[in-house]
Amino acid sequence: MYYYEAYHRPFKYLEADYAAGDNFIIDITYDWKGISSSEHPNRDYTLKVYSK
Amino acid sequence: MSHAYSLISVFNLYDTDTTTVLHKMYMIRNPWGVTYYNGTWKHDDAAWTSAFKAQVPHSVDPTTSNADGIMFINAADFLTCFDDFQSAEYRDNEGYTDDWYDKINDAGTTSTYSVTVPAKNGDLYFTIDSYFQGQIPQSCWNGIYPIV
């Protein structure tokens, strides 16, 4: 699946679709691009995995 | 790509009888810390009487808060200015569980993360977020921006 960060909408797995002990492998590749100097942040990101 | 704002508060402005709602208001912040809003209820709008200013929550002064990116908009204008809004719920007291994996100064190569779910606990969510300029102290900027 392709994750589009701009809208901050998460991937969602329904409770019925996974079980305790399931292992998820997530590959992340950011295509960083230098633009101008003062407006842009570091090359840092956070992967969050959560449920209620 | 569009821009996103934080919705800080929704509140009413009341008449002097303190029960009649005259205006339904939204307090919004531009995470860049600036605002260019030029509509009704902008910071220097004469509509901000001292009585209305006193009703703004969180001790925010609507006539100066634009300097920190905070602006005010009424309900009718809110619906015409924004095409989407989302609300979040903090659920720490409801068994909320999570794992965070921070990647610092990413080189642009693929990083692989392995997450084993310990238990069924409702629907499962994955998000990946980088950090925009309003979220990072200026001293930490390095002039690099992600394509998203």
DSSP string, B61-109: -TTTGGGGTEEEEEHHHHHHH-S--------GGGT-EEEEEEE-S--SS
Give the residue-averaged pLDDT of B24-35.
Answer: 92
ipTM strictly over 0.90? no
Q: Are B139 and A38 in contact (CB under 8 A)?
A: no
Query: What DSSP string runs through A1-29?
Result: ----GGGTPPEEE-GGG--TT-EEEEEE-
pLDDT at B35 over 70: yes
Contact by Cβ (8 Å): B62, B72 = yes
Instruction: Tell me how far apart the alpha carbons of residues B57 and B90 are, in angstroms, rounded to a whole number.
Output: 20
For testing contact with chain A, the best of B86, B113, B124 (most A CBs within 10 A) = B124
| pTM, full prediction | 0.53
CA distance B132 to B108: 17
Rounded Cα distance, B28 and B6, in Å:
6
Structure-model confidence comparison of residues A7 and B9, the more confident one: B9
Reported as a single tens digit per residue, the pLDDT across A9-43 is 788 899 999 999 999 999 998 877 654 434 445 77
Contact B61, B101 (CB under 8 A): no
> Which residues of chain B make contact with A42, given a CB cutoff of 8 A?
104-105, 131, 136, 140-142, 144
Q: How far is A2 from chain B (nearest CA, A)?
A: 11
- Amino acid identity of residue B56, one-letter, is V
Would you call B95 an interface residue with chain A, using a CB distance cutoff of 8 Å? yes
Fold observed for domain B6-81: Cathepsin B; Chain A (3.90.70)
Chain A: closest CA distance from residue B46 (Å): 33
Assign A39 to helix, strand or coil: coil
3 state DSSP class of B59: helix
A:B CB pairs within 8 Å: 205
Q: Which of B3, B112, B117 should one mutate to test binding to chain A, selecting the residue with the greatest count of A CBs within 10 A?
A: B117
How far apart are the C-alpha atoms of B8 and B23, rounded to whole Å? Answer: 17
- Residues B86-91: contacts with CB within 8 Å, 24+ apart? B86/A8, B87/B7, B91/A52
Q: Tokens in use for B85? A: 């809004």
Measured distance CA(A30)–CA(A43) in Å, rounded: 9
Which residue among A5, A14, A26 sits closest to B129, beta carbon to beta carbon?
A5
pLDDT of residue B120: 86
